[in-house]
Amino acid sequence: MRSTQSDRTVETLRELILRGELVAGSRLGEAELAARLDVSRTPVREALGRLAVEGLIELVPHRGARVRTWTAAELAGLFDVRQATEPRLAALAADRITAAETDELALLSSRMLRSGPTGPGQDLEELAALNRRFHGLIVTAADSPALATALAGAVRPPVVLRNFHRYDDDSLRRSLAHHEELVAALRTRDADWAAAVMVAHLRNARAVMLRSAS
């Protein structure tokens, strides 16, 4: 029972953070959160530990927990690394990807089109997970360990997940369309096309993130 309550507490707190109801930098007191969520302090404490591992909150010694803060400069730095590596990885993948990998990308893109759009079927956590698999498969197909290592330090799942919660309808539609176009470029083994689509995809994501951070 405690495990179930802890899971629910994690889900609730995660959603409050991603929706912005618990704003970046705000202190997360165990007693206050327990009262707000109508649970004991134990599942709150467990939830804070799990969300710290996810990178959504920070545990500050002697000061408790607070919502993780990302400055505009930090976010811009992450996207600078991504823009320097991911288009090149997409181009390499166009030359090296297998038919089976392309088919898997197409399936992932199709599933994102179902879970992403605004409406009762929207599931942004599933969308973020599918997106991670999609981009990860491109990195695998590119078969460039040096570029993959450089990119790994810049892709932060909490930032990506938070970004999906910040997309307006037009930006989200563009993002989902980019995935479809990437599949088309990779199917035709057009490295320049794949790289160009990835550049547009990252610029769209960067604009959303920096707008929300300003």
For the chain (214 residues), the mean pLDDT of every run of 10, in chain order, is: 74 79 84 92 90 82 81 81 95 97 97 87 85 94 94 72 80 95 98 98 89 66
What percentage of the chain has pLDDT greater than the value 70? 93
Over the stretch 95-133, which tens digit does the pLDDT of each residue have? 999 999 999 999 999 999 998 888 877 888 888 889 989
Let me know the angle formed at the C-alpha of 173 by 170 and 177, rounded to the nearest 5 degrees: 140
Res 32: pLDDT? 92
Report whether 83 contacts 199 (CB < 8 A). Answer: yes
**Helix H or strand E segment including 107:** helix 99-115
Dihedral angle computed from the Cα positions of residues 94, 98, 104 and 106, in that order, rounded to the nearest 10 degrees:
40
pTM (2 d.p.): 0.73
Report whether 90 contacts 198 (CB < 8 A). Answer: yes
Res 3: pLDDT? 56
Over the stretch 28-40, which tens digit does the pLDDT of each residue have? 999 999 999 999 9
Dihedral angle computed from the Cα positions of residues 130, 134, 136 and 138, in that order, rounded to the nearest 10 degrees:
180
